Structure 1
């Protein structure tokens, strides 16, 4: 009995000493939060506020951060972040997160750009005493992660990613949150151990499925390529889901090629280039009235133009100031009318040219596209107006007759008053 009591007393004393040493060596929640704030600012040059920090070691090490915000004009905010790590890798001084869960993250574009090129900010601490595990993060779950672009348009996303070693997603899903006007979902499924993923996109009531692949060069640079096929994607639904509007309505079909290069995922995103050869049949120009533009022989705003079909090629190129859009080989058909042209969109400004061909002796009416996406303009070019003026001066009535004739023909083709007979003026010499 005495021996047992002595053993119990000794054990209790040892536990008390160990607890005291642990309390002395392991920082409190407040101390650990202060360390994290100081380390973050030292590495990035940007201050950090942590509203709350809680950690535990049983059954596995777990860290929870709450109400985190960077000290910027438009702060990056995290409502809650939870991290879980395995004991084994910690004891081996290897950094690995088995589970990461984030909720309520706000990412203003300008504030995120302040962290570009700061790769050292995420390097292991301790001057090499710690190393990064081949699988640094195994699972990520996130809800209400909001990207805020330069126009203050906020888009919220939910999703999850399961990683293989070396940051290769084994599977991933990204969803627009409940505020989207129609369901939007992106899924990636890795094909074996290859750097190739089956890519499934549900958007605009249709699909945009295909395959993407990643290649790594000897210098470590990355090349991302993809081939996707849009099928019956409603353009207006697609754009509304991302807080945008569109000058074209209809369902698009076609083929998209993706290419991006860079040293990391961020660089791939910033260099992304796509080329889509598309067909929209039938289609509607929701901001333009071709008949009105030709008939008025001046600048025209607003209106709609129904089309039997619209085909062309769209190139998009990511830039530091937004995405540049280039439409080429555009061809629109409506009855016996054909319109061809090209257009460029950047920073919501429009610039383009359209030539309208009509049978029955009128060919190649040139139109100029300008203005902005919110207030587009369509007008006859200076050359067309000069030609009409010269025709009127040389042979009075000719220029006016040409304008009237074109206007009546286009109006009839685009659903105008079909009962009204077309008046014929003298032909241009």
Structure 2
């Protein structure tokens, strides 16, 4: 046997011995499948206070290290469920009892909003992963290099279920290096992409939605000893409003393509707090636009007692503020201004849980004669009506002079109501169906 052959044979024997040693070490460090599933459930409950059922668990070192969890569910009603979790850890990390995972794949998860919210404030420490692993394993600088999510369904407070896919590559401290989140099967595409700029906490932000774009830049500030702060500056361009809201299972009362400027800001101690306090402001213009649900011309001719219809607009503009809250997202529209032929309208409105509350003035001649109207109903079925004071004035104006007299009378009636403390200052006006035009 030549020296070379002896060297190869010795090297091969050394590899066999090494693999045998690794197998023995893995057997000593890692439990069997059943014990492994039990250990995961126990640590999860200890860290969160909420039970976990793991239908099946499996780990293997060959041909590459892998951990599989099937049919996972929390002990809640309704439960958070996951069809399958696959983690591909690095072998060197396993030998040092350190979590260093190349990729985690989560498939077929269902996340009811109420069940997810139950975890707020329950984790022991700031990092849920560290809490689950406490006392046995430690986290690498980049615990998970890549996270892939497929068919992840979020169920909101109204029971609307929306599925998402995501692919995120991480740098240290859980900072996304690049990320993509999308609504699968939606056309035109609804997709968010993030691209980190160097090693800074700033990301190029690219959003495709409604056949247009909503691009810009976002930034995370994490001062020592202070709360996290997330801000973004985005520019919507040619976003079809109806296609946008349909992408998320909703219906819009406004049709047209939106452009403008959006600012995003939020502050909190962790990711959950950032999401829970999210605030946005969008200054927008839609030209041309269509109002679906009421007809401004009929609102004038019937003194506000119109229901249904459509109004084409040359332009609609204003500012939309959104604020996350425990009762859902609150939408506030201010500085609304619309033009349709010789009519102009201005007003403001608030939307909570799709219920509409606001006021508007429709001018026959721009800024000269305004018919005051109350906005009510829902975004799916908006309603226009007059307050009782304006309604009385409209009746008097109609008796004196039909048409324009009705509008002038309504305006006078509204002002008299304000001067003498009318009864509807704090409650909605009469619904459109409860009275007949005079």
Q: TM-score range with shorter-chain normalisation?
A: 0.7 to 0.9
SS at match of 2:173: coil
Instruction: State the distance in 2 between where 1:15 and 1:404 align.
Output: 90
Relative to structure 1, the CA distance from residue 17 to residue 81 in structure 2 (aligned partners, 3 Å threshold; closer, same or farther) is closer
Q: Paired residue for 2:178, among 171, 181, 191? A: 171
Relative to structure 1, the CA distance from residue 78 to residue 17 in structure 2 (aligned partners, 3 Å threshold; closer, same or farther) is closer
Indicate the residue corresponding to 1:41 in structure 2: 45
1:71 is aligned to 2:78? no
Indicate the residue corresponding to 2:152 in structure 1: 145
Q: Is the 8 A contact 1:124 1:130 kept in 2?
A: no
Q: Paired residue for 2:95, among 85, 91, 96? A: 91
Indicate the residue corresponding to 2:296 in structure 1: 290
Indicate the residue corresponding to 1:237 in structure 2: 243
Instruction: State the distance in 2 between where 1:261 and 1:317 align.
Output: 12
1:273 is aligned to 2:276? no
Q: Could you report, residue by residue, the CA deviation over 1:93-115 in whole angstroms, capped at 9, with x for unpaired residues?
A: 33222210111011110110011
SS at match of 1:266: helix
What pairs with 1:45-60 in structure 2 (closer than 5 Å)?
A: 45-60=49-64
Q: Paired residue for 2:109, among 101, 105, 112? A: 105
Instruction: State the distance in 2 between where 1:16 and 1:163 align.
Output: 34
Q: Paired residue for 2:383, among 377, 387, 390? A: 377
Q: Paired residue for 1:209, among 201, 212, 215? A: 215
Q: Is the 8 A contact 2:331 2:352 kept in 1?
A: yes
Q: Aligned-residue CA RMSD in angstroms?
A: 2.7
Instruction: State the distance in 2 between where 1:389 and 1:322 align.
Output: 40
Instruction: State the distance in 2 between where 1:379 and 1:24 align.
Output: 76
Relative to structure 1, the CA distance from residue 142 to residue 401 in structure 2 (aligned partners, 3 Å threshold; closer, same or farther) is closer
Q: Paired residue for 2:405, among 402, 406, 409? A: 402
Give the count of matched residue pairs.
Answer: 392
Relative to structure 1, the CA distance from residue 357 to residue 212 in structure 2 (aligned partners, 3 Å threshold; closer, same or farther) is same
- Displacement of 1:221: 1.8
Q: Could you report, residue by residue, the CA deviation over 1:366-396 in whole angstroms, capped at 9, with x for unpaired residues?
A: 111011223221112323212223446xxx4
Q: TM (normalized to structure 1)?
A: 0.85
Q: Is the 8 A contact 2:228 2:267 kept in 1?
A: yes
Instruction: State the distance in 1 between where 2:213 and 2:303 align.
Output: 41
SS at match of 1:98: strand
Gaps of 5+ in 1: 1-11, 407-429
Q: Is the 8 A contact 2:194 2:206 kept in 1?
A: yes
Relative to structure 1, the CA distance from residue 60 to residue 288 in structure 2 (aligned partners, 3 Å threshold; closer, same or farther) is same
Instruction: State the distance in 2 between where 1:283 and 1:14 align.
Output: 72
Q: Could you report, residue by residue, the CA deviation over 1:104-144 in whole angstroms, capped at 9, with x for unpaired residues?
A: 01111011001111232532567556332221211011110
Instruction: State the distance in 2 between where 1:190 and 1:400 align.
Output: 61
What pairs with 1:22-41 in structure 2 (closer than 5 Å)?
A: 26-41=30-45
1:155 is aligned to 2:188? no
What pairs with 1:187-206 in structure 2 (closer than 5 Å)?
A: 187-206=193-212
Q: Is the 8 A contact 1:293 1:380 kept in 2?
A: no
Instruction: State the distance in 2 between where 1:117 and 1:297 align.
Output: 53
Q: Paired residue for 1:132, among 139, 160, 164? A: 139
Instruction: State the distance in 1 between where 2:281 and 2:367 align.
Output: 36
SS at match of 1:246: coil
Q: Is the 8 A contact 1:294 1:379 kept in 2?
A: no
What pairs with 1:254-269 in structure 2 (closer than 5 Å)?
A: 254-269=260-275
Worse overlay, 87-96 or 254-263: 87-96
- Displacement of 1:298: 4.5
Q: Paired residue for 1:122, among 129, 139, 142? A: 129
Q: Could you report, residue by residue, the CA deviation over 1:257-304 in whole angstroms, capped at 9, with x for unpaired residues?
A: 010111111211111111000000000101111222222224432111
